[in-house]
Amino acid sequence: MASIRDCDRLIEERPVVQGPAFYSDSEGARIVFQIWDWIDDRRYTFHLYITRKVKTGWETFHTAVLYRTVRRHELSEALGQGSLGNAVWLLPSESGFYQPIILAKAD
């Protein structure tokens, strides 16, 4: 069992931002958001920003990494070439989880 982002949809929509989310808990107050700089149809630089409240105000952390999208059928084929076959996809509407889940069983 594994889960991946819905890259089939992402390739079509090519989002550039995942808007800010605010968290306040025992860890303190944080604002988290993402910027996606698309390089081509399949790759993007993922920027993660976390701004957290500190004693002197607010402090921002940033990291970036290169992502490559993988379509569901590509992952199914790769698993089939290995020892995992009969892959079944559960979409969020079926599983209730926020991104697609793949189930595969060893042959």
**Residue 52 to residues 17, 26, 30, Cα–Cα distance (Å):** 19, 12, 4
- Give me the pLDDT at residue 15, please: 96
Amino acid in the structure at residue 24: S
- Give me the pLDDT at residue 98, please: 94
H/E segment holding residue 55? none
- Give me the pLDDT at residue 107, please: 74
Q: What is the pLDDT of residues 30-87, one digit of tens each?
A: 999 999 999 999 999 999 999 999 999 999 999 999 999 999 999 999 998 988 878 9
State the Cα–Cα distance between residues 40 and 14, nearest whole angstrom: 10
**Residue 94 to residues 15, 70, 81, 91, Cα–Cα distance (Å):** 24, 21, 26, 5
pLDDT value at 7 more than 90: yes
State the Cα–Cα distance between residues 106 and 92, nearest whole angstrom: 24
Whether 50 contacts 60, CB under 8 Å: yes
- Give me the pLDDT at residue 37, please: 98
Q: What is the pLDDT of residues 13-45, one digit of tens each?
A: 999 999 999 999 988 899 999 999 999 999 999
